[in-house]
Amino acid sequence: MKLESFVRGQWTEAGADLVEVRSAVTGDVVAVMPSGGIAMRDVLDHARKAGGPALRKLTFHQRADMLKRLAQYLTERKDELYRLSFATGATRTDAMIDVDGGIGTLFVYSGKGRRELPNATFMLDGAVEPLGKAGTFAGQHILAPRHGVAVHINAFNFPCWGLLEKLSPALLAGVPVVTKPATVTSYVAHALMRMIVASNILPDGALQFILGSTGDLFDHLGCQDVVAFTGSATTSQTLQRHPAIAREAVRFIAERDSLNAAILAPDAAPGTPEFDLFIKEVAREMTAKTGQKCTAIRRALAPRAHVGAVIEALRERLAKVTIGDPQLETVRMGPVVGLDQRRDVLAHVATLRAEAELVAGNPDHFVVEGADPVRGAFVPPLLLHCADPVKATQVHAVEAFGPVSTVMGYDGLDQAVALANRGDGSLVASIYTHDQRIAADLVFGIGTFHGRLVLIDRDCAKEQTGHGSPMPQMLHGGPGRAGGGEELGGVRGLTPYLQRTALQASPAMLTAVTGSWVKGAPVVTTERHPFRYHFEDLAIGQTFFSKERTVTLDDIEHFAHFTGDTFYAHMDEEATRGHPFFPGRVAHGYLLLSFAAGLFVDPDPGPVLANYGLDSLRFLKPLQPGESIKVRLTAKEKSPRNKQYGEVRWDVEILTGTGETAATYELLTMNAVKG
């Protein structure tokens, strides 16, 4: 297989050097790829001049649609990616984690983009902040796509997921990507990239693909660029020290190695479901992807009294793992990615053995099914036991990136917390307990040292997604050794690619710039009711002032008995005596809402198709019988949805007859498009 980079809209085999990539299973050359020799300044220019502007023209919803179409396109072709992944040492199950996990991330970002982001090219961040007493000066934060490039550098272990989990939030945010796969598994990422290019779904310059060396790319980074790196701490530190990173204050996200822990809590004794779940998870994390997962369990912590039982149960489970050619259906675990990786893993195991005893697996003697154990990079699952984890240092610091884990006993929860935190910052820890107090103690003991905590017990056993699976909805990253980065986490994942800007101006100016009406800005009143306007004709700031209505005691009584809401504050004058909020019997908040609807609604069929909810409802002043209310309804924001209708957000204020604010909320309607 001859691989090519994809830059400036073209595939190119140009490169200063040719690099051979070998199969993890047979040691044979499976691909040849160019490295170096690409004019990186031109690559970045193309992203900035073609990709960025094209993406920024699209709204979040349009970009979300693009991700969905891409996910559908890749789903139909994923078998080729599974097939290629065998040579990396991945079984079909391993390949599914990589391929389906990556495509799933595209789908999740597409769904979240449509549901949680506006159909606009930028978004508001938080509420309007009043900055002057008279209401003529206010502040609003906005988030807009940076005018730079997202440089993504990926680790070898997830050639598809790694590329797609970084790509999804960057493209949704509107920032073009230059992605670089790790060399040893580049042929799988290359096949994925071929599919993406062939799909023709992304605009020109939105995604470029660089094989091998990044050359002088970092020299040309600027203040609008973002680097997201996944890999070893050593490479991350080298890249982070590049002068351009500090000089241009380039955002740098690092996802690095991690000494993740699984903690068996004292209540989870042998025989409990939590004990079994712990054993299953430790064994699975050691063998899935042949232990080459940044999230894998490297340290299995158990109460000292249960250490013997833990080792016994793991030994039994690991003995059943068939090692060999990952294409064979009987094989549960393939080789690590290559002979260099095997050398690294075994060297790290040797270091660990100075502090821990090997209790399961023998690196010099194990059975390999269907492949040559010398030419293939096979390593059996290796379980160690560290008898004195308090004194030990290496078991908390050395990541053997293969099927390796160390069991360690602890005395008391405080020690379990201290040991887990000796990882100096990890991506994830899992806790196995059915005791909610223990769970809370552990969560607050180790939480800030971890990016993610998974609490596993019998109640969630069937549905839990596992210790090692980063979910696109949830944060991936961790403090300290783990790199200090944050990726994924739903729409939080867009944060690095968006610039937050604080706008300070008059309400009228803020309204004009953001397209979102701010209280204090002029309102527009028309003879026709605002509900009579189609989506495109309705003006932001268009307002309806209702007439007044008096709320009587009979109204309150009627509403109480009709709805069944006979709460004492509405029914019993005596019971409200001395009450901190109510001066006597008061109207139901929901009665006010209902009357407000009656006051502002324009009943005949028309462009308003449906009311579909309220946001930010606050009851601010209780209303006593005999007082009256009136309503101001102002078109605040419009968000196009499709050819038939769009969403309108209305700012609603219920005022008392004397002009005090009784309640505020935002009403959402779907309004027909005239077409």
Known catalytic residues are 255, 294
Cβ-based nearer residue to ligand NAP, 258 or 546: 258
Q: Which stretch binds ligand NAP (CB under 6 A): 228-236, 299-307, 585-593, 607-615?
A: 228-236
- Phi, psi (rounded to 5 degrees) for 95: -65, -35
Cβ-based nearer residue to ligand NAP, 285 or 637: 285
Binding of residue 256 to ligand NAP (CB under 6 A): yes
Binding of residue 161 to ligand NAP (CB under 6 A): no
E strands, 457-497, are 475-476, 487-488
The amino acid at residue 420 is A
E strands, 577-622, are 608-619
Cβ-based nearer residue to ligand NAP, 158 or 600: 158
- Binding test (CB under 6 A) with ligand NAP, winner from 401, 531, 595, 650: 401
- Name the nearest CA neighbour of 60 among 111, 99, 95, 14: 111
SS3 41: helix
In whole angstroms, how far apart are CA 359 and each of 313, 382, 391, 562, 608?
12, 8, 20, 72, 70
Question: By CB under 6 A, what part of segment 21-80 binds ligand NAP?
Answer: none
Give dist(CA 81, CA 292) in Å, integer.
18
Cβ-based nearer residue to ligand NAP, 176 or 451: 451
- Closest-by-Cβ residue to ligand NAP is 231
Q: Which stretch binds ligand NAP (CB under 6 A): 83-91, 178-186, 324-332, 620-628?
A: 178-186
- Binding test (CB under 6 A) with ligand NAP, winner from 255, 325, 441, 486: 255
Give dist(CA 273, CA 342) in Å, integer.
35
Tell me how far, at minimum, the Cβ of 91 lies from ligand NAP, in Å: 18
Burial 479-495 (b: 16+ CB within 10 A, else e): bbbbbbbbbbbbbebbb
Q: Which stretch binds ligand NAP (CB under 6 A): 252-260, 263-271, 354-362, 650-658?
A: 252-260
Name the residue with tokens 């999230």: 295
SS3 18: strand
Cβ-based nearer residue to ligand NAP, 17 or 602: 17
Instruction: Tell me the DSSP string of 626-664.
Output: T-EEEEEEEEEEEEE-SSSEEEEEEEEEEEETTS-EEEE
- The site string for ligand NAP over 284-303 (x = CB under 6 A, - otherwise) reads ----------x---------
Give dist(CA 289, CA 293) in Å, integer.
7
Q: Which stretch binds ligand NAP (CB under 6 A): 150-158, 169-177, 308-316, 495-503?
A: 150-158
Give dist(CA 459, CA 463) in Å, integer.
9
Tell me how far, at minimum, the Cβ of 384 lies from ligand NAP, in Å: 18
Cβ-based nearer residue to ligand NAP, 103 or 662: 103
Binding of residue 257 to ligand NAP (CB under 6 A): yes
Q: Which stretch binds ligand NAP (CB under 6 A): 231-239, 518-526, 623-631, 638-646?
A: 231-239
Measure CA of the first residue to CA of the last residue in the chain; give whole Å.
Answer: 52
Binding of residue 182 to ligand NAP (CB under 6 A): yes
Cβ-based nearer residue to ligand NAP, 235 or 664: 235
Tell me how far, at minimum, the Cβ of 401 lies from ligand NAP, in Å: 5
Q: Which stretch binds ligand NAP (CB under 6 A): 104-112, 115-123, 225-233, 275-283?
A: 225-233
Binding of residue 179 to ligand NAP (CB under 6 A): no
Question: By CB under 6 A, what part of segment 558-617 binds ligand NAP?
Answer: none
Cβ-based nearer residue to ligand NAP, 98 or 457: 98
Binding of residue 238 to ligand NAP (CB under 6 A): yes
Tell me how far, at minimum, the Cβ of 427 lies from ligand NAP, in Å: 6
Binding of residue 260 to ligand NAP (CB under 6 A): no
What is the widest separation between alpha-carbon atoms in the chain? Answer: 91
Task: List the alpha helices (DSSP H) in 391-449.
Answer: 413-421, 436-446
Give dist(CA 180, CA 228) in Å, integer.
11
- Binding test (CB under 6 A) with ligand NAP, winner from 24, 103, 155, 475: 155
- Binding test (CB under 6 A) with ligand NAP, winner from 119, 140, 179, 183: 183
CB 336, CB 290: distance < 8 Å = yes
Q: Hey, which residues does 10 pair with through a beta bridge?
A: 7
Give dist(CA 393, CA 161) in Å, integer.
33
Cβ-proximal residues to 365 (8 Å cutoff; 6+ apart), any chain: none
What would the two tokens of residue 76 be?
């139909």
Give dist(CA 57, CA 555) in Å, integer.
52
Tell me how far, at minimum, the Cβ of 28 lies from ligand NAP, in Å: 19
Name the residue with tokens 């109510």: 582
Cβ-based nearer residue to ligand NAP, 102 or 231: 231
Binding of residue 157 to ligand NAP (CB under 6 A): yes
- Phi, psi (rounded to 5 degrees) for 174: 100, 25
Tell me how far, at minimum, the Cβ of 161 lies from ligand NAP, in Å: 9
Give dist(CA 228, CA 225) in Å, integer.
10
Question: By CB under 6 A, what part of segment 472-501 binds ligand NAP?
Answer: 482-483
- Binding test (CB under 6 A) with ligand NAP, winner from 98, 281, 325, 399: 399
DSSP-derived pairing of the beta strands 177-180 and 150-153? parallel
Give dist(CA 74, CA 90) in Å, integer.
19
CB 54, CB 206: distance < 8 Å = yes
Cβ-based nearer residue to ligand NAP, 294 or 384: 294
Cβ-based nearer residue to ligand NAP, 35 or 421: 35
- The site string for ligand NAP over 194-223 (x = CB under 6 A, - otherwise) reads ------------------x-x---------
What would the two tokens of residue 120 be?
């606009």
- Binding test (CB under 6 A) with ligand NAP, winner from 61, 180, 190, 299: 180
Q: Which stretch binds ligand NAP (CB under 6 A): 85-93, 254-262, 300-308, 633-641?
A: 254-262
Give dist(CA 497, CA 18) in Å, integer.
34
- The site string for ligand NAP over 404-443 (x = CB under 6 A, - otherwise) reads -----------------------x----------------
Cβ-based nearer residue to ligand NAP, 294 or 417: 294
From the CA atom positions of the chain, what is the Rg in Å? 30
With vertex at residue 535, the alpha carbon angle to CA 68 and CA 612, rounded to the nearest 5 degrees, is: 70
Q: Report CA dihedral (237, 240, 241, 246) to the nearest 10 degrees.
A: -160
Question: Residues in the site for ligand NAP, rule: CB under 6 A?
Answer: 153-157, 180, 182-183, 212, 214, 230-232, 235, 238-239, 255-257, 294, 399, 401, 427, 482-483
